Structures are given as structure tokens and as C-alpha cells.
Amino acid sequence: MDGMSLHFILAVHNHQPAGNYPEVFEKIYSMAYLPFIEALEDLPGAKVALHYSGSLIDWFIEVHPEFLDRVRDLVRIGQVEIISGAFYEPILAILPDEDKVEQIKLFSERLKDIFSVSPTGLWLSERAWEPHIVKPICDAGLRYTFLDDAIFHGAGLREKDMFQYYVTEEQGRSLVLFPIPKRLRYLIPFEEPEETIDYLRNSVLDENAVAVLADDGEKFGAWPETYDLMYKKDNEKGWLHRFASLLEEHEVQMVTPSEYLGQSISFPNPNVYLPTASYSEMMEWALPVNVSTDYGRAREFLEERPEYAVFLRGGYWRNFLTKYEESTNLYRKMLLVSKKVHKMRGALKEEAKKELWKGQCNDAYWHGVFGGLYLSHLRAATYQHLIRAEKMADSEIHGLSSSPGHRTGWIEVSETDFDGDLKNEILVNTRVMNGYFSPVHGGTLFEWDFKPLELNLLDTLTRRPESYHKELAATQKGDENEKEGKAKVKSIHELLRAKDEALRKYLRYDFYRRVSFIDHFLPLNTRLKDVKNSEFNEMGDFLNQPYGYEVELATDSASIIFLRSGRLRVNGDSIPILLRKSITIERDKPEITLDYQIENRGAQDFTLFFGTELNLSPILVSKGSYFSLIRYNGSQRRSSRVEGAHPGIKSLQLVSKKLDVVLSVNTILPMNIWRFPVYTVSQSERGFERGLQAYCVCSYWQLGLSPGSSWGASLKYKLSFEKNV
């Protein structure tokens, strides 16, 4: 290229999370993974680096072992270099150090067994960079990785500096870093191949330069409209064939990373220390929603000032742990289970570690243009692996089975700072259940694990504003205009489309987290739709407020007594009341008893609705929006309606045929019930879509108290299998 030697590295990252639907694996395989390899087989001069995540490798071995044979052949002839990584695609920086190194080493060993080569490079999940990870990467025996140009810009490097590799270090361990120019990510494969050649010709100035595109393999066939672009363009060769031909024509040498490092051993390569960051889109997604709007305006303002735009940075990956409480819950659960598993010494430890590592898969921990955290089946799979690993650790500690038919168990209570806010939570652990309670947030239950099903029953997602919600109406209008003409294929980062014109009615937001045992004091005119839409008036100062507590542990049971002296706002008056909420869990029983006592300590009468709210995982739901069967008062009344208001009942049974499990709610004092599904509107690679995130069941009573009087009620929540009911 004008007398200079230019090298081009194409590194392709392929991943499906553990727990994704089998049909998704198969669809992406047929649209992206397989045709890409078929194209490479037809392009002997094209060299690439390939990364397949551990969950995808496991799937290939089980479903398409012949695919690995084809990749192995390309590795053998030197056309493909296999890249390692942490086995189950975690965000490496947030893992305990033991898990960092062991996941990488295990995956490198697995890849060596399959492909008969020892990988030297690492794919860094979501290119989420923190400087301290250099040491575990090097300690695991790897030599290089790929990072986005935005991270290098944070160290003062410009676009012209993105066509060589750099070396960084931590505690004396050195790691090679290949920059990925953002412009290449948007050119390939969405623009004509000639556009990429022109970009390289105009950007590369140094001899022996290297240009790197390291990006998702799904964009080569599985992203919207890319399959025809890549492989079937008017009966001619697709984009990949045309691009490879142009590289050869312009004497651009396609090389693998290790091949290039071997050739450039005598080149001067500068050292660099990079700030914590990721790719530019990720840093924008990680910002709080109220800040991301201003960030977007700043980005637009600087679009015509690229020399300054490189200094604009958003948040970084760990911000998701503060943006979404549900992410924090998963992360802290993972840390808790990791600590338990690494204390194991028995034969189950290796199997438990594998389940733990599957539960560290990054996809369910965050949300950007892909559904991630909003995909309930991915959250459920993550909890499933973590709970399964925890069961194995508990079985070693207690020497007991956690099968439903085994009747000897244990009960443990710990007061610990589970979520890292310097305030204790209360964790109850038995053979059949975990119950995690937050005194500082209303004495609520925020995790309820049913161990026989390896299911967090409270795996829900709160409805909250997202920055893209404001674009929903505009995008719908834009789609209509686009139908008039044929638009070019867009990158997934540019593509938004509404799948349902009625989605706007689901843009409702909660002002509290959708956990359980939430105490409500409501006006008598409150109706189902008010609670469903989070448009009700809370009369007390109990919601989201701190409760005092006492813990009582006996041989066969544990009780937590939450207390709060609060006030009600009634007709302009402030009435003091005392709420006592007692929670009892018995050893070996999959049930929770909830007892309330409310005392009027004021000088005025009041009448209102008092209720307690339960929010259940959508995984319990069979048909997308409701339980298979809902029984009232035994079998006297049945319903399969999606929502309902039901007065004066003593028992409620929610039957999940999907899991063959029943949740019963029983009381002596007749209760009223509101029940309804909770939906969110989120963005995915396919556009805007509705997702079921919780099923809410609110038990409530009309409560009237004169000064000095008190009221009480008791609820029992019990889990059982349908065949036993």
C-alpha cells in the first residue's frame, strides 16, 4: 500500500450464554458460525483468529462435533488461530482472583485438547478493561488481548496511533494490547469493502503497521440483514469474499496475531498504561439514565470535532452494579457462592466450580443494545448455576442431601453485609431454601431460593426509565418513512425498530424495587390499575425505609422480628403507628410464615388498606403472562385470567405447570388479592420489545383502628410440587 507493508488482523468472537434457548444456538449457528467457516474454507489466503466461548464449545461438542473438526482442519494448516479467554465469558475484572486464573487455565487446556495447540491470546469479555487484570491473564499463561480505541484515547493516544500494538504491565507481568479502531467496527461489514480499503489507505502512515478488527462473529450473518450481505448477494460472492480479494489486490497481508507478533519482534513498541474503560457504546450504556441524555448531547455536539471527541468518555462496566439493583444481587450472590465453593475439599469441588463459573457468565449482569439483564431466562439460568454450586458446597459442609424426599436438614442465620452498603442483611439458609432479608429497605425479602428447583422465586426486574424510551415514538415514525425506500444495512448500534406499535402503553415505572413482603398503607379508593401502574398514594413512611430487627434462632426454626415506629398521613394529620412484622422459617419446610401486628399510637381514628406485596419470577409463568391455574379457597374457584381483583378469600394457589410447582398463600383472616403481570419495554438487537419481568400478588385488608387499638394477621407462603397437592 504505497510502498508500506500493512498487516490486517481479523479476530472474530463467537458467544452464546449458558442458559440461552437451544433454538437460538441453532439459528445463530446456521446463519453465522457455520457459513463463516464455509467461507474461510473457500478462501485459503484469508487468515483469522477465532474465539468461541466455553458455553459455545460445550454446545458444539454435544450438538455439532463435525463443526469443530472443520475448525481443527483450518487450525492445522495455519489459517486459523484459536483464542482463549475465561471459560464461561465472565467480566473478568469482577471475579475473585482464584476464579480469574482458573477459568482461563481450564479453557486453554480444553482448547489444547480439542485443537492440539496452546492458545496465547485472550478474548476479554465486552472488552471491559481494568489495569489489575494484566497479572491474572499473564499468570494464566497468555500473551495478548484486544482493546477498543476509546480505552487508548483515555491515555492520550489518537486515531493515527491505533495501527500498532502496545505493551502494558502490572507487577512486572507484561501484556500485548492490540487497539481496535471504532471506525473499522462500523465499516465492517456494513459498508462496501472498498470503503474499508480507502480508510486504511488514508489512515495508515507507518511501515509494518497493523490494522485490527476484533468483533462479534454474530455480525457476520446473524445480525439483522447481514446474512444476505455476507454470503448471498445477487448470486455473486458475498462481502467476505470481496473483502479478502481486495486485501490481496492491495497487498494487505492478512495475518494471525501470533504470526504478526513473531514477525514484528524487532519493532519498537511503546509501553502504555490505560484507564478503566470499555468500548464507547458500553461506556454510554453504563451511565445513569439522567446523565446519558446529556452525554448524548455532548457526543452530537462533538461529531464535527473528532479531534476533541476522543476525550469524551462515559461510565464503565461496574456502573451497571449501581444502575441496576438486580445486577448487584447477582454479583453479590456470585461472590458468596464463590467463597463457599473455594472452601470445599471433597470430590464435588471441581463440579461445583464449573457450575459457579457458568453462573459468572456476563450476559445477565448488564444491559445495552442486547437484552441481557432484561432476558428473564438468562437471569434464571445464572441463578440456577449459582444455586446448584451452593447446594454442592452445602452438602459437603452439612453432609446431607438437598433432595425433596430427604427429611434431615439444617438452618443457619447470618447477619452480613451482603450488598456492600455497610449495612447488614439477614441471610437464612436451610436444606430446601434460602431467604435473604433487608432491614434497611423495609424488612423486605429480596431473594428466595427454592433449592429443589434451583430457582430464585424472586428473580424479578424493576420497571425503570431507560434513555432509549424517549426514542420509541420517533423510531416508530421513522420505520414508516423507511418503508418508502431501501436503506443500507446498518450496524446493530445504529438500528432501532419497534416490534409492537402498542409498546408505549407499557412504559410504566416503579418507585420502589420489585422485591417481596413490601408493606403498603393505601387510601380506600386505591384500585388494581393504580397498583399495577405504580400510580398510587403511599400514606405511610414505611416503604423503602429502615426497620429495626431482632433474630431468634432455635434448633428447628429461625424468626426475624422487624419493627418500625412510623407515621401515617391521614387528612392532613400525622398519626404515629407501630408495625411489627415477624417472619418464621422452619428447618426442612419450604415455607415462610409472615405475621403482622399494627398498633395505632395516635389520637385519631383511621381507615385504609394495608397490604403486603409479593413479586414472583416470570420463570414460574407458563404462557407468557399468567400461571397455568389459579385456585381460590381450595378448588372452589379457578381462574386463568392474566390479572384479577379477588375479595374475601382465605387461600390462593398459583400453579406453574411449567415447573410442576405450586405456591400457596393461606390466611385465617380473609384477605383481598390484587394480581397482575409486570412488563418492561427494552431494547434488543431486534428492536424494542415487551418482556414479562414479574408476577405481582398483593394481599390486603381494610384496616380501621381507633387510638390505642391494634390489628393482626398471619400469612403462610408454602411451596410444593403439583403431584403432592
| Residues forming the active site | 126, 216
Cβ neighbours, 10 Å, residue 265: 7
**If you compute the radius of gyration of the chain from its CA atoms, what whole number of angstroms results?**
28
For residue 653, give the 3-state DSSP assignment.
Answer: strand
Strands 433-438 and 444-450: antiparallel
> Residue 72 is inside which H or E element, if any?
helix 65-76
* DSSP states along 633-662: TTTTEEE--S-EEEEEEEEEEEEETTTTEE
Q: How far is CA 358 from CA 27, 300, 408, in A?
A: 22, 39, 29
Give the span between the Cα atoms of 59 and 63, in whole angstroms. 6
Cα of first residue to Cα of last residue in the chain, in angstroms, is 76
3-state secondary structure (DSSP) of residue 107: helix
Amino acid at 16: Q
Q: CA–CA distance from 610 to each of 160, 445, 579, 644, 709 (Å)? A: 65, 18, 11, 18, 15
Give the C-alpha separation, 447 to 426, whole Å.
Answer: 11
Q: DSSP for 524-582?
A: TT--HHHHHTT-----BS-TT---EEEEEE-SSEEEEEEEEEEEEEETTEEEEEEEEEE
Q: Which residue has the cell 519498537?
A: 268
Report the alpha-carbon distance of residue 625 to residue 466 in Å, rounded.
Answer: 23
Query: What is the rounded distance in angstroms from the CA atom of residue 548 to the CA atom of residue 354?
Result: 39
CB 462 within 8 A of CB 289: no
- Nearest 5 degrees, angle CA 141-CA 145-CA 149? 160
Counts for the chain of helices (H) and strands (E), in that order? 21, 27
Compute how many other C-beta atoms are within 10 angstroms of the C-beta atom of residue 97. Answer: 12
CA distance 587 to 402: 12
Helices 54-63 & 65-76 angle (0-180, nearest 10): 110
CA angle 506/508/514 to nearest 5° reads: 115
Q: Which residue has the cell 399468567?
A: 626
Taking the C-alpha atoms of residue 52 and residue 643, their distance in angstroms, rounded to an integer, is 43
Residue 583 contacts residue 499 (beta carbons within 8 Å): no
Torsion of CA 302, 306, 308, 312, to 10 degrees: 60
Under DSSP, the state recorded for 233 is B
The 3-class secondary structure across 323-340, one letter per residue, is HCHHHHHHHHHHHHHHHH
Q: How far apart are CA 47 and CA 531, in angstroms?
A: 58
For 325, other C-beta atoms within 10 Å of its C-beta total 18
Collapsing DSSP states into helix, strand and coil, what is residue 620? helix
Cis geometry, peptide bond prior to residue 189 (ω within 30 degrees of 0): yes
Amino acid at the residue 643: E
Question: Beta strands of 140-227 (E only): which ranges?
Answer: 144-148, 166-170, 173-180, 209-216
